[in-house]
C-alpha cells in the first residue's frame, strides 16, 4: 500500500514520479517537465520530487534523478555544486550590537559580491588573498588537465572568483537558533567557471543527440551515454567544479568569521557545529542494491544521520536538519523553499514597501534590486518542511538577523 507521505504521478511510457509535495503547490509546467524526464529510457526505478519543486531549464528544480548508463548535464545545471555552509559560533544574541549595520558592512567588505558597478567588478578579487591562492593551487592541476582538452575554460574568471559570493539568490547571513546561539550561513556555488562548464557541456550534449539521431521530449534533456568520450570529460569536469564550489564556501566562511572577529568585542570561535552540502550535483551512489548516478538538482543528500541545510527565503526561517535516509526519496530532501513566481513577476507585483515590511528586523538591503528575492515569491517554508517530515528531522531552526545578498 502506498504510504501517505508521497503521491505518485505516472508518466506516459515512463517511470513513476514520487512526489513529497503534500500541502504545497506544484505548477503544471513543472509536472510536465517531470513527465518528460521520466520518459528517458535510462531512468532508474523512479524520480523523487521534493516539496520545493518548480520549473527549471531542461530539468525540474527540486528533483532527484537516478540514471543508469547516462548523465544529463542540464539536470545538474550551470550552477554546478551550488550549496550551503553553516557554522555555529560561541556567541549568543546577547553579544550582538543593537545596530547590526556594522556587521553587514564588514561582511560585504570581506566577501566580494554583486555585479559590475561603475567599471569595477565587485564580484571578483582584484588581487586574491593568500588563502585564495593556496586553495587555487590545490584546484589548479586538475583544472589544467581540463583546459588542455577544453581550452575555452582557461579564460573564465576562475581564480579571481574563488572565495566570492555571486549574485541572485546567493547570500551570507547571520542567524539566531532556537537557543539564541549565533550562526553564520551562506549560499553559493562554482561561480563563473562552473557556469561555463555547465553551459558548454549542455550544448555539447545537444550536438551529440543530433549526431546520434536521438529524439527527446525536450532538447534540454540531451545526455551523454556512458562509455562515450564526452561522458568521461563531463564527469571529470563536474567533479572538479563541485570541489571548487565546496572550497569557495569554505573560504568565504573563513573570511566572514575573521571579519566579525575583528569588530566584535567578545572573542569567539565558529567551529561548534559546521555543515557544508551541495544541492546541484551528481555522484555515484548505491540504491536498491545497484550502483547508479544520482543527480540532485535543487535537492540535498539526507542519508541516515547526515546533516544538511534547508534555507528559507529572505525574512523566513531556515533549518539545520538530520537525514532519515528514506530509500524511496533516494536519501534526499529539499534544498529550500522553492520559488512560486519568476524574478520578473516578483518585481512586477511587489514594491519596496512590501520588501521593507517582509524583512522587518533583518539588517539587509531593502531596495528595488532585491525585490525579486522577497519572501512572498517563495513557497511557505513551514509547509515545505511538513511535506518532508519523513525525509529529515529538524535539529535547529534559524532566523536571520543580517542578510547580505549577491
Residues labelled catalytic: 335
Name the nearest CA neighbour of 49 among 36, 67, 31. 31
What is d(CA 171, CA 165) in angstroms, rounded to the nearest whole number? 7
Residues 155 and 383 sit within 8 Å (Cβ to Cβ) = no
Residue 361, sorted as left (phi over 0), alpha (psi -120 to 50) or beta, turns out to be left
Cβ–Cβ contacts within 10 Å for residue 327, how many? 10
What is d(CA 38, CA 65) in angstroms, rounded to the nearest whole number? 9
Name the nearest CA neighbour of 50 among 73, 22, 11. 22
What is d(CA 283, CA 294) in angstroms, rounded to the nearest whole number? 6
Element (H or E) spanning 200, and its range?
Answer: helix 191-211
* Residues 229, 68, 142, 146, Cα dihedral to 10°: 30
Burial of 254 (0-12, 13-18, 19+ CB in 10 A): middle
Torsion over CA: 126, 130, 134, 137 (sign): positive
Q: Which residues contact 159 (CB under 8 A, 6 or more apart)?
A: 128, 132, 133, 136
What is d(CA 201, CA 204) in angstroms, rounded to the nearest whole number? 5
User: DSSP secondary-structure letter at 11?
Assistant: P
What's the angle, vertex CA 309, arms to CA 304 and CA 312, rounded to 5?
135
Residues 312 and 336 sit within 8 Å (Cβ to Cβ) = yes
What is d(CA 402, CA 351) in angstroms, rounded to the nearest whole number? 21
Residue 132, sorted as left (phi over 0), alpha (psi -120 to 50) or beta, turns out to be alpha
Residues 56 and 75 sit within 8 Å (Cβ to Cβ) = no
Give the DSSP letter string of 344-371: HHHHHH--HHHHHHHTTT-EE--SGGGG
What is d(CA 334, CA 134) in angstroms, rounded to the nearest whole number? 33
Amino acid at each position: 500500500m502506498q504510504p501517505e507521505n508521497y503521491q505518485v504521478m505516472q508518466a506516459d511510457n515512463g517511470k513513476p514520479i514520487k512526489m513529497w509535495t503534500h500541502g504545497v503547490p506544484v505548477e503544471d509546467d513543472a509536472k510536465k517537465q517531470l513527465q518528460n524526464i521520466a520518459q528517458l529510457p535510462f531512468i532508474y526505478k523512479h524520480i523523487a520530487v521534493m516539496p520545493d519543486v518548480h520549473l527549471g531549464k531542461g530539468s525540474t528544480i527540486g528533483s532527484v534523478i537516478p540514471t543508469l548508463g547516462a548523465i544529463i548535464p542540464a539536470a545538474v545545471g550551470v550552477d554546478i555544486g551550488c550549496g550551503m555552509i553553516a557554522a555555529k559560533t560561541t556567541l549568543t544574541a546577547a553579544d550582538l550590537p543593537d545596530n547590526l549595520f556594522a556587521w553587514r558592512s564588514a561582511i560585504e567588505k570581506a566577501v566580494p559580491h554583486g555585479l559590475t558597478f561603475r567599471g569595477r567588478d565587485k564580484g571578483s578579487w582584484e588581487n586574491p588573498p593568500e588563502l585564495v591562492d593556496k586553495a587555487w593551487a590545490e584546484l589548479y592541476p586538475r583544472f589544467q588537465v581540463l583546459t588542455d582538452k577544453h581550452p575555452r575554460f582557461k579564460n573564465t574568471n576562475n581564480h579571481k572568483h574563488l572565495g566570492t559570493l555571486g549574485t541572485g539568490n546567493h547570500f551570507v547571513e547571520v542567524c539566531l537558533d532556537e537557543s539564541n546561539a549565533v550562526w553564520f550561513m551562506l549560499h553559493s556555488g562554482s561561480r563563473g567557471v562552473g557556469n561555463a562548464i555547465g553551459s558548454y557541456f549542455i550544448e555539447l550534449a545537444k550536438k551529440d543527440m543530433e549526431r546520434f539521431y536521438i529524439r527527446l521530449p525536450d532538447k534540454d534533456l540531451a545526455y551523454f551515454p556512458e562509455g562515450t568520450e564526452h561522458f568521461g570529460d563531463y564527469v571529470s569536469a563536474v567533479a572538479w567544479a563541485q570541489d571548487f564550489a565546496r572550497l569557495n564556501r569554505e573560504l568565504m566562511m573563513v573570511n566572514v568569521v575573521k571579519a566579525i572577529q575583528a569588530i566584535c568585542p567578545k572573542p569567539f570561535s565558529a567551529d561548534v557545529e559546521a555543515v557544508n552540502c551541495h544541492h546541484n550535483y551528481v555522484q555515484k551512489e548505491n540504491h536498491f542494491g545497484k550502483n547508479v548516478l544520482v543527480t540532485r538538482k535543487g535537492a540535498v543528500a539526507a542519508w541516515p544521520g547526515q546533516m544538511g541545510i534547508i534555507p528559507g527565503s529572505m525574512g523566513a526561517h531556515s533549518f539545520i536538519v538530520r537525514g532519515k535516509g528514506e530509500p524511496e526519496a533516494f536519501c534526499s530532501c529539499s534544498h529550500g523553499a522553492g520559488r512560486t513566481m519568476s524574478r520578473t513577476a516578483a518585481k512586477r507585483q511587489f514594491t519596496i514597501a512590501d520588501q521593507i515590511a517582509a524583512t522587518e528586523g533583518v539588517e539587509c538591503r531593502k531596495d528595488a534590486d532585491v525585490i525579486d528575492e522577497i519572501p512572498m515569491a517563495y513557497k511557505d517554508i513551514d509547509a515545505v518542511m511538513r511535506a518532508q517530515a519523513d525525509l529529515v528531522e529538524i535539529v535547529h531552526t534559524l532566523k536571520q538577523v543580517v542578510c547580505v545578498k549577491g
